[in-house]
Structure 1
């Protein structure tokens, strides 16, 4: 069985985010993903125009037996299991859980519902800070994650004990 190293960014700011993120990681592992590394939790300012509480974010590296689309379906299933209802939520609004695929090996996909690597990763310190913690030399479109982060303001992102 062939495995692909993928990086997932998890975030939550509704309910009990710390517990929800832990449950999401455990559920992904039970579904067949091997958790290779996980960052600390980070408190991050909300992204977008909707007033809401800060997020907790975390990045996990996984070895994945699925293809990229299979991983997307698994991530969406875990979100639904943990209370996310995409049909009723406000874009960039509060979330019980959000699971984004940041990178899936060296795969490049440009489809309406799946873009890899994540198209806005290099603009988002809330994803890059935890990613750089576990994979500073990861290259996304030829750019080291640590170099991309160095160009952003990450001063409002706080590691949570």
Structure 2
């Protein structure tokens, strides 16, 4: 589990559409650095240290698991993405966006060019005024005084004016959802995505157990004879795990992510069981299903068969290497039929065939964005 720290940032702009600049920066910080907890009002002030256009300034509070080195790199990336052209001689000039790390918990950091607390923050009213608005009682780790006291003792006589402009605070998965279920075919990456989301958002993870099933080797030796007891044992285990885990929220984890849903049992049973046994199985399933909590959103990761085969080979599980494309196609058809027929679930289908959300941070955030922006009215 990652350690999440509270960090305060200062944002300023004096070029172009200043409100759009600030809002885009806040959104990108929320996507790539940490969840934005608070945003100050927007303040207007003259340029500081040079002759230029007036600035709009804000301070924000974020919770982030990034270490200081990674955080400053992400800050620079966001500034570059928004068009920041840094002055090579280090002097002040007009800029489309400026993002400074003010405080990183109560730590004192001197790392290359990164200094936290920001060495100039106590001299700047355009920093202290918005920071006091959202964190008046935070202790400055060097001055050993609250930010409010630091503002009262600040010698900066520059004019700063509070505007009526309000920026929109981005919401996170934790705020929108209590329970997300992630499904997909074999090799689609559902467990990898669940682990990444669980780690990043400190979620309670419900992962399918891969403990030895006593019927599994018998099933491989005689599928016709042992398919029914195998599927019933899987159903019982999944039912037991979901009812237990979903009923017992951790004290500090009100957000749950699972890498399967109980309907997985039904889909695989359709493939392995003859009609009569499947009908009996379905009756047992329907009884159990009534007791299972429904996810706020059911995410299905679609990958084409060729990509699934590639992923299966790449992860190298010996017992999966003989899986045939035809079998994966049957599973996909089963999921497709289920998704079309099951109207009670908020189902979001995401095509990840061309994405690598495990290794590519940008692809991962594309997936997160689709989940976050899903409105429950259809598939994206």
1:7-156 to 2 correspondence within 5 Å? 7-48=8-49, 50-87=50-87, 91-140=91-140, 141=142, 142-152=144-154, 153=156, 156=159
TM-score normalised by length of structure 1: 0.94
CA distance in 2, matches of 1:156, 1:45: 7
Counterpart contact for 2:39–2:61, Cα < 8 Å: yes
Q: Which has the higher helix share?
A: 2
Q: Once the 2 structures are TM-superposed, how far is the Cα of residue 119 of structure 1 from its aligned partner?
A: 0.7
Q: Radius of gyration: which is bigger?
A: 2
8 A Cα contact 2:46 2:158, kept in partner: no
Contiguous gaps of at least 5 residues in structure 2? 165-380
For the residues of structure 2 that align with 1:36 and 1:133, how far apart are their CA atoms? Answer: 13
CA drift at 1:44: 1.1
Deviation, structure 1 residue 150? 0.7
Aligned counterparts of 1:74 and 1:33: Cα–Cα separation in 2: 10
User: 1:129–1:154: 8 Å Cα contact kept in structure 2?
Assistant: no
Q: CA deviation at 1:136?
A: 0.2
Contact 2:25/2:82 (8 A) holds in 1? yes
Q: With the length of structure 2 as denominator, give the TM-score of the two structures.
A: 0.41
- CA drift at 1:112: 3.6
Q: Retained in 2: the 8 A contact 1:107–1:116?
A: yes
Helix, strand or coil: the match of 1:143?
coil
Change (3 A) 1:22 1:15: same
**Matches of 2:88 and 2:5, distance apart in 1:** 33
SS in structure 2 of the partner of residue 156 of structure 1:
coil
Q: Deviations over 1:112-159 (max 9, x none)?
A: 410011011111101000000000001112111101111235661111
**Gap regions ≥5 residues in structure 1:** none
Matched, 1:158 2:161: yes
Could you tell me how far 1:10 is from its partner in structure 2?
0.2
Task: Name the structure where strand makes up a greater proportion of residues.
Answer: 1
